Structure 1
Amino acid sequence: MIKKIVIVFVTFFALQINAQEGTASPYSFYGIGSLKFKGTVENRSMGGLSIYTDSIHVNLRNPAAYVGPNLKLFNNESRPVKFAISASHNSSDLKSDSGSEKTSATTVDYLAMAMPLGDKFGFGLGILPYTSVGYKLEDFSNNQIENRYRGEGGLNRVFLGLGYRITDKLSFGVDVNYNFGNIENTAIEFLYDEDGVPIEYKSREHNRSELSGLNVNLGLTYKTMISDKLELQSGLTYSPQSNIVSRNTRSYATIVLSEQSEQEFEVNSIDADLESLGLDKTDLTLPSRFSIGAGIGKPRKWFLGAEYTFQNTSKFSNPIITIENATFVNASNISLGGFFVPDYNSFSSYLKRMTYRAGIHFENTGLEINNEKINEFGISFGVGLPVGKWFSNANLGFELGRRGTTSQNLIQENFVNFQLSLSLNDRWFQKRKYN
């Protein structure tokens, strides 16, 4: 088992190195990138709903979900050790008043583990890309390119969490997150002579920020039977406002740009003195985040719930890059979703043992450009496929959505997301019995 875990970790890090640019959204130009992590595939298949918890799936949004009741299958002695890994592929159609473009990106979404620590405690750890930057934008005037903007990178997160079962119905948990990564932004200015002929030499500004810092995420879960067949589940999470350190560099260069390959050949460059401006080391604010939700269902049969999330994004600022036409306002999200299992214990039909998920979400991203709010809408579907023993499963997710608008010379993204995850369970702890 240890060898298998090591192989998975090595493979994951190898993929991460080649998949740093995990988005192709022009809106990742703003702030520290587009939010990449929106929960597990199971969560996202239910419209982002994260309030449902059980003993066989990892819930990465609420650390209180690391604990739960022991399983009858394990003689009520323990809970399974849970592993989760996921990858996704995104395809987007970008539309504006002046044209359209297609983009795509494939990334690893998370690698995580949760394990029991006795009857009252649960432990979780993992790594995931939290935000992602990946864009290439061009600014035209009179059919001539004036500026080209390019960006890549993002913020990654390693987390370590602990959950405590206060009562049979109420649990509390806390995650400590270490955030790290880098973001690079490049702007190239194209110049022309009096006859409108492009000048050979272009000007380039390059900014790089190395990011690091800690934050915490607190969570509560409450579940109780409200009748013989119906169970109420509810959840609450809160992440206080925190700061991450950004160590910044900036350079200016004269370049020659190859017309065929667009490769940049540097003629000369100079480093900016950010220290004298007080910009070599800056603090970025990670806004506070609060979510609350509830739902009802029949255990191991169906569930339907709703969740509201609020993020104080108006507190975000990035001193190293100032954008005149964009502001950050408070963000919010509403998720509605659930699942249905025809017969989880069916011996005759595999389809009846599958979990069918669906949901929708409505999101105000917290970004406002040219006085237009950038909103997102998505509808999602998914299935859980039983594999192996101890209720392990593979999960497939599919999401259709729209982000942004074509008003005010902006870009509308129509996106399709495919997600795949493995949720694997194993039994490590078993009491010895003597005859």
Structure 2
Amino acid sequence: MMHFARTLLIGLLLTLGGVLPVWGQDAGDGSIYSRFGIGELQTPSSAQAQALGGHGVALRSLNYTNLSNPALWSDQVLTRVALGARFRTVESEGGQTEGTSRLTAGNFDGVQFSFPLLRQKLGVAFGFVPVSQSNFRSRVQRTASSSPFDDETLDYQVEFLGRGGLQKITGGFGYRFNDLISVGASLDYLFGTIETQRRTSFTRPNFQETVVTNGVRLDALSATLGTHLTIGDLLRSDDNLMVGAAVTLPASLSGTRTRTIGESLDRDTVSTASGGALDMPLTTRLGIAYVPSSALTLTVNGSYAPWSQAESSMTDDDVSFAFPVGGTETLADQWTLSSGVEWRPAGDDSFESFLARTAYRLGVSYEQLYVSPNTTTTLNAVEARLGISLPTSVSGTRIDLTTHVGRQGTTSQNLVQDLYYGVSARVTIGERWFQERRLR
């Protein structure tokens, strides 16, 4: 237990030590598409699944806790803690911007904790992970035909900024009936704050800059149900074909909005309103994984969420400012397809060399975004990922590094295209707990 605590502390210091210096760089421009809906959606899963394109709904593993399918939690052998950080750069072009805008930022990538109640039979898992992120800044130059004081035109700039997002606390169990099938369920609590700001500045010195900020606090309860099927010796001896499915039930995000005017500590609260709700749709995920040997893993995953059917209800017209969806007409059905391959030369042989025990991963994904500029246009994202998983001298502990590059949006129709790239790091620590010591 003490060794586990020391390893966890070192992992925390390494992870947070890399994240904290980057937070100060958030002054740049992020993706304008995070302005709509609840922000850019995140994909909580294991480090292994992330490097293989995301989700990993069927990816059964003794080394990782995969939050995308609670049925996989039945495979626990060791008590595990996983924590990570991610760094991302977004370069945007098109729209009404001149040239290219850029944002480099780092964020904490969540914590996962799991342990077996019955070894490889009944497992429990908990997690604190990001669900969405809003981080953008856009500017529009405008000209008023006249000012209140004279007949001259008045040039001014309107700047829109956003930050915040939703997080999720999840907890549940997975149970394996036999070598063929397992099931699982989790209870999910979503919460967070999304803040949008409108800053108006003027070229003439006798006009005061104005700043209006809307802070929206959201929360909801949901649940995820999952199942997993394993078929062994299908095409050859000791191979495995695995099929996984998970459903996240609809959630109704209730919100409270606070509107303020002014900057930093001199803000004045203008109004506070509540009573609105945004209904998040049902999300389904399906995955297939084939393991011909302990050295090779192949995966294919897909997900679907009918965001075009999302509805927001308000108690009065004023509360309509509370939700950052920009009107549900800006939302479209969201779906993803991903595929990946992992190669670990040593397989399960723990006595091979360091490089042979290292896992090498490649993944690709294609997504139709849930943000839509109009009813006839859809926006897409394509991404490639490359990762490695490094073994350590501590049995059950691995360090995972993943780099990614992708492109989303389009410059046609005066829209914006984002090029993004970055790296993520995660430490997964495993140790055997709750053992009954025997006297000899």
TM-score by length of 2: 0.84
| 8 Å CA contact 1:133, 1:183 repeated in 2 | yes
Deviations 1:263-319 (A, max 9, x none): 7796x9561364xxxxx2211222210011212122421111211100121233454
Which residue among 338, 351, 355 is the counterpart of 1:351? 355
2:303 is aligned, of 309, 316, 326, to 309
Q: Distance in 2 between matches of 1:99 and 1:116?
A: 53
Q: Residues of 2 paired with 1:273 and 1:126: CA distance? A: 32
- 5 Å-filtered alignment, 1:173-212, equals 173-190=184-201, 197=204, 200-212=207-219
Aligned-partner SS, 1:429? coil
Corresponding letter in the other structure for 1:42: Q
Paired residues of 2:30 and 2:102 also in contact (CA < 8 A): no
- Partner residue of 2:84? 86
- Classify the secondary structure of the residue corresponding to 2:370: strand
Residue of structure 2 equivalent to 1:243: 252
Q: Does residue 329 in structure 1 map to residue 328 in structure 2?
A: no
Aligned residue pair count: 407
Which residue of structure 2 lines up, in the alignment, with residue 382 of structure 1? 387
Identical amino acids, percent of aligned pairs: 22
Residue 79 of structure 2 aligns with an amino acid whose one-letter code is: V
Once structures 1 and 2 are overlaid, which stretch shifts more, 33-42 or 328-337? 33-42
Q: Match for 2:407 among 402, 406, 411?
A: 402
Equivalent residue in structure 1 for 2:373, among 369, 374, 380? 369
Measure, in 2, the Cα distance between the counterparts of 1:383 and 1:90. 18
The answer on whether the counterparts of 2:7 and 2:429 sit within 8 Å (CA) in structure 1 is: no
Deviations 1:10-67 (A, max 9, x none): 9799979x96979932211111111134423221211114121111211111111111
Once the two structures are superposed, residues 232-265 of structure 1 have per-residue CA deviations (whole angstroms, 9 ceiling, x without a partner) of: 01110001111122111224x4x6xxxxxxx779
1:287 aligns with 2:281: yes
Instruction: Establish whether residue 132 from structure 1 lines up as the match of residue 139 from structure 2.
Output: no
Separation (CA, whole Å) in 1 of partners of 2:36 and 2:55:
26
Secondary structure of 1:204 counterpart: strand
Alignment equivalent of 1:169, drawn from 180, 198, 204 = 180
Aligned equivalent of 1:30, options 36, 53, 76: 36
| Contact 1:24–1:105 (8 Å) recurs in 2 | no
Give the conservation status (yes or no) of the 8 Å contact 1:49–1:337: no
Q: Is the 8 A contact 2:11 2:427 kept in 1?
A: no
2:147 maps to which residue? none
TM-score of the superposed pair, with normalisation by structure 1: 0.85
- Structure 1 residues 270 and 429, CA gap change in structure 2 (3 angstroms): closer
Offset of 1:334 from its aligned partner?
0.2
Unaligned 5+ runs, structure 1: 70-78, 256-262, 275-279
| Equivalent AA in structure 1 for residue 334 of structure 2 | A
Instruction: Give me the whole-angstrom Cα distance separating, in 1, the residues matched to 2:156 and 2:380.
Output: 29
- What are the within-5 Å matches in structure 2 for residues 141-160 of structure 1? 141=142, 145-160=156-171
Secondary structure of 2:330's counterpart equals strand
Please identify, of 137-146 and 298-307, the stretch whose mean Cα deviation from structure 2 is larger. Answer: 137-146
Q: Over residues 311-331 of structure 1, what are the superposed CA-to-partner deviations in whole Å (9 max), with x where a residue is unaligned?
A: 121233454346369521110
CA contact (8 A) 1:184 1:207 kept: yes
Decide whether the 8 Å contact of 1:372 with 1:408 is kept in 2.
Answer: no
SS in 2 for 1:146: strand
The Cα shift of 1:186 comes to 1.0
- Identify if the C-alpha distance between structure 1 residues 64 and 338 changes in structure 2 by more than 3 Å, giving closer, same or farther: same
Post-superposition Cα deviations, 1:65-99, rounded to whole Å, max 9, x if no partner, equal 11127xxxxxxxxx111211111100121111632
1:123 — aligned with what?
124
> What SS is found at the alignment partner of 2:75?
coil
SS at match of 2:345: coil
**Residue 4 and residue 46 in structure 1: after superposition, are their counterparts in 2 closer, same or farther (change >3 A)?**
same
1:248 and 1:281 in contact (8 A); partners too: no
1:426 match: 431
Deviations 1:141-162 (A, max 9, x none): 4795531111111111111111
State the alpha-carbon separation in 2 of the partners of residues 48 and 248 from structure 1.
Answer: 33
Partner of 1:233: 242
> How far is the alpha carbon of 1:114 from its aligned partner?
1.0
Alpha-carbon RMSD across the aligned residues, in angstroms, is 3.1
- Asked if the contact 1:190–1:198 (Cα under 8 Å) also holds between the matched residues in 2, the reply is no
* Match for residue 220 of structure 1 among 227, 245, 254: 227
Whole-angstrom CA distance in 2 between matches of 1:239 and 1:173:
12
CA distance in 1, matches of 2:34, 2:412: 18
Tell me the equivalent position of 2:149. none
State the shift of 1:129 in Å: 1.8
Look up the equivalent residue of 2:333 and give its one-letter code: N
Please tell me the residue identity of whatever aligns with 2:372. E
**Residue 346 (structure 1) shift:** 6.0
Aligned to 1:338: 341
Say which SS state the counterpart of residue 197 (structure 2) adopts. strand
Kept in 1: contact 2:93–2:99 (CA 8 A): yes
How far is 1:413 from its partner? 0.9
Distance 2:329 2:208 in 1: 30
Q: In structure 2, what is the equivalent of residue 259 of structure 1?
A: none
